[in-house]
Amino acid sequence: MRHWRVVVPVCTGSRQAIIIICLRVFSQGQDNNKKMKSIQTIPLLVLLFVPLLSPAQSVVRGPYLQMPTPNSIIIKWRTDIATDSAVGYSVIDGVPSSVSSIASTTEHEVTLNGLTPDTLYNYTIGSTSQMLAGGDLSANGDGEHFFTTAPLTGTDKETRVWIIGDSGTADANAAAVRDAYKFVAGARGADIWLMLGDNAYADGTDIEYQAAVFDMYPQMLRQVPLWSALGNHDLDDMIANPPGAYPQIFSFPEVGESGGVGSGTESYYSFDYGNIHFISLDSSSDANRAAGSDMWSWLESDLIANTQDWTIAFWHHPPYTLFYGLAMREMRENALPLLELYGADLVLAGHNHSYKRSFLMNGHYGDPVLLTPAMILDGGDGNEYGDGTYVKPGPAGTAHEGTVYVVVGTSGKIGNDLYGHPAIYTQMDVLGSMMLDISGNRLDAAFIDSTGVVQDEFTIIKSPPAVIDIDVDPWSEANLVRPASDNFIPVAILGMSIAAGDAIDFDTSQIDFTTLKFGVGEAAMLTVPWVLDVDGDSETDVLAGFRTQDAGFLCGDTEVSLVGETFTGDAFVGMSTIETIDCESQGCHP
């Protein structure tokens, strides 16, 4: 008798990654000792499709930008599973380049080198097999993933800085401060971004940083390089869970990679952006801020080497406050004398949850009762529409010409320090942030509250131009100007001498005539300078000629300016009254 037996094995095609249940049919004779003979294998059921590709990867933090220089930048991000790292980048409509790392990690960090200074780049992030984000910048500027490299060191470029302190509340307060700044700033975004510490409450843990920083500012992190100072709450996690979240999240220069002198640590460092030198100090670590520490010897070396036009220092604990603490006193006693000796312009701090701003200060390193009137170099408001701007007359780095000290500790919470201090011009218990605009010899600062209102603003002018005497068409008593004329107009630049009763000494033989700009049209000099004594005071004057239409005169103008520099780079400006004529017959040059 023949018996049939069915066995159900699994037969699978591994390349297709499909599991199939099959029937294998055997026959057996009457002699049970005989082997069974396989007759047929019949596919019965496709059971399951199993993909053999790696699990899907997604970005759970970032990307964010670190350590920009004229030729490089660091891009960091976190993924949910470990993979290799890859960044693609290009200028708009340019040939793409890429950088990758074969190391498998969830904490991705890629450095782009060989970049062009002050240039906008589009970028993507992901692995070598998968793009995860980016590549969305269009020719009209729309998109999310882009960065601009720093300008060449020393370059005078209009620069915007956004500053927040004690922002780590991860709540509606922080969001309101963020949105108010974006409203005021408009389409002109920040070039760099400073955090003054206590970036994530309550202990600066990785989870708290996710909520307070990465979930709060995702768009800005993708586009604006972020720098930070260490706050006492950031330090908590470094002590409890070394090395802590803060040093793992941030990448800061240790050996002068971004300009300045290398400090050998990321706890305190410096960097250059154009003609601005930034210094981040550590006021939260007892050992670093103590007298005689390595931080202070490094700071002096860095300040001596600094050649930039502007110097801005930032740290967490403010030097001028009646909310006493050892950190405040040590920073005041150890940092301020060095910074003022080497001409620092602005110091930014947080910690106290109020906004405070000092007068233009010099030499106040002790307790409030020791402040003298001589230590307040300018007791005004620093506002050009109020008491007038703060002026530092010497060249960059001139000692003891004054520093403004600002506390911006209200980017997340308010309410623990409105005690008066005699060095403070104004203070307020208001949520907000600070915006700096720096261009040439001018720094404008604005404190923006959480509703988008500018509550305080001041200006610092460095090395203002010397004011000289000029005379347009010196042989015409009324200084007559025909706006539409195609002729040359003579302008006398007058030599000046204090000994002769003038306000300043001005030697016309030192003028660099290639720098002269006349009128709103900034007309260049087109004639050979003629040396003579125009006003009969025995001083050497110079007559220069400019094409009238190039100067941009309008009918009804009553004054015109001439600006320029000497061969040593000292700026000067002269103003002259004028009277426009023949407007009806010739029309006005627009």
pLDDT in tens, 237-264: 999 999 999 999 999 999 999 999 999 9
Domain spanning 466-586: CATH 2.60.40: yes
What tokens were used for 87?
């960044």
Q: Output the CATH code of domain 59-148.
A: 2.60.40.10
Cα dihedral value 159, 164, 170, 176, nearest 10:
-70
Distance of CA 385 to CAs 355, 382, 457, 555, Å? 21, 9, 10, 28
In order of 126, 217, 486, 554, the CA distances from 77 in angstroms are 9, 14, 61, 56
Query: 140, exposed or middle or buried, with CB in 10 Å at 0-12, 13-18, 19+?
Result: exposed
Could you please report the per-residue DSSP string of 220-276?
A: HHHHS-EEE---HHHHHHHHHSTT-HHHHH----SSSTTSS---SSSSSEEEEETTE
What mean pLDDT, rounded, does the chain reach?
Answer: 89
Does 182 score more than 80 pLDDT?
yes
pLDDT at residue 93, rounded to an integer: 83
- Asked whether the predicted pLDDT for residue 66 surpasses 60, the reply is yes
Asked if residues 466 and 498 have their Cβ atoms less than 8 Å apart, the reply is no
Q: Half-sphere exposure of 18 toward its Cβ, with a 13 Å CA cutoff? A: 9
Rounded to an integer, what distance in angstroms lies between the CA atom of residue 417 and that of residue 350? Answer: 11
Arithmetic mean of pLDDT, 281-299: 97
Q: What secondary structure letter does DSSP report for 496?
A: B
Give the residue-averaged pLDDT of 469-488: 88
Q: Could you tell me which of 339, 195, 346, 191 has the C-alpha nearest to residue 274?
A: 191
CA-CA distance, 159 to 273, in Å (whole number)? 9
Query: What's the pLDDT score for residue 139?
Result: 63
CATH of 163-462, one of 3.20.20.80, 3.60.21.10, 3.40.605.10, 3.10.20.740: 3.60.21.10
The Cα–Cα gap between 143 and 161 comes to 21
Give the confidence band of 41 by pLDDT, cuts at 50, 70, 90: very low
Please tell me whether residue 143 adopts helix, strand or coil conformation.
coil
d(CA 292, CA 561): 52
What is the model's pLDDT at position 477? 80
- CA distance linking residue 456 with residue 352, whole number of Å: 18
Distance in angstroms (rounded) separating the CA atoms of residues 144 and 218: 10
166 pLDDT band, cuts 50/70/90, is: very high
- Phi/psi of residue 66, nearest 5 degrees: -135, 150
The secondary structure of residue 350, as a DSSP letter, is -
Mean pLDDT score, 503-520:
94
Q: Given pLDDT bands bounded at 50, 70 and 90, which one contains residue 56? A: low
pLDDT in the model for residue 65: 98
On the question of pLDDT at 113 being above 70, the answer is yes
- What are 416-444's pLDDT values in tens digits? 666 779 999 999 999 999 999 999 999 99
The pLDDT of residue 40 is above 60 = no
Looking at residue 585, its pLDDT comes to 57
Query: Helix (H, G, I), strand (E, B), or coil: what is residue 541?
Result: strand
Is residue 31 predicted with pLDDT exceeding 90?
no
Tokens of 52: 């053999």
* pLDDT > 70 in the chain, percent: 88
Q: What is the mean pLDDT of residues 204-224?
A: 98
**Of 281, 286, 195, 209, which is closest to residue 241 (Cα–Cα)?**
209
Q: Are 295 and 282 spatial neighbours (Cβ–Cβ below 8 Å)?
A: yes
Instruction: Tell me what the mean pLDDT of segment 132-157 comes to.
Output: 87
Average pLDDT over residues 124-152: 87
| Mean pLDDT computed over 349-360 | 96
pLDDT at 52 over 60: no
Q: What percent of the chain has pLDDT over 90?
A: 78
H helix runs in 518-581, sequence order: none
Q: Is the confidence at residue 20, as pLDDT, over 60?
A: no
Query: What's the pLDDT at 55?
Result: 59
The stretch 198-210 carries a mean pLDDT of 98
* Rounded distance between C-alpha atoms, residue 187 and residue 445, angstroms: 18
Instruction: Please give the Cα distance from 193 to 355 (Å, whole number).
Output: 18
The whole-angstrom separation of Cα 331 and Cα 232 is 14
Which residues face 120 on adjacent strands? 148
Nearest to 253 by CA among 271, 238, 235: 271
Six-digit token pair at 297? Answer: 């010897």
Distance CA 473, CA 494 (A): 13
Is the distance from CB of 545 to CB of 488 less than 8 angstroms?
Answer: yes
Q: Three-state SS string across 374-432, please?
A: HHEEECCCECCCCCCEEEECCCCCCCCCCEEEEEECCCCCCCCCCCCCCCEEEEECCCE
Q: In sequence order, which residues have a C-beta less than 8 Å from that of residue 130 and are 6 or more positions away?
A: 57, 83
Average pLDDT over residues 547-576: 92
pLDDT for 520 beyond 80 = yes
The pLDDT, as a whole number, for residue 141 is 59
Where does residue 487 rank: exposed (0-12), middle (13-18), buried (19+ CB within 10 A)?
A: exposed
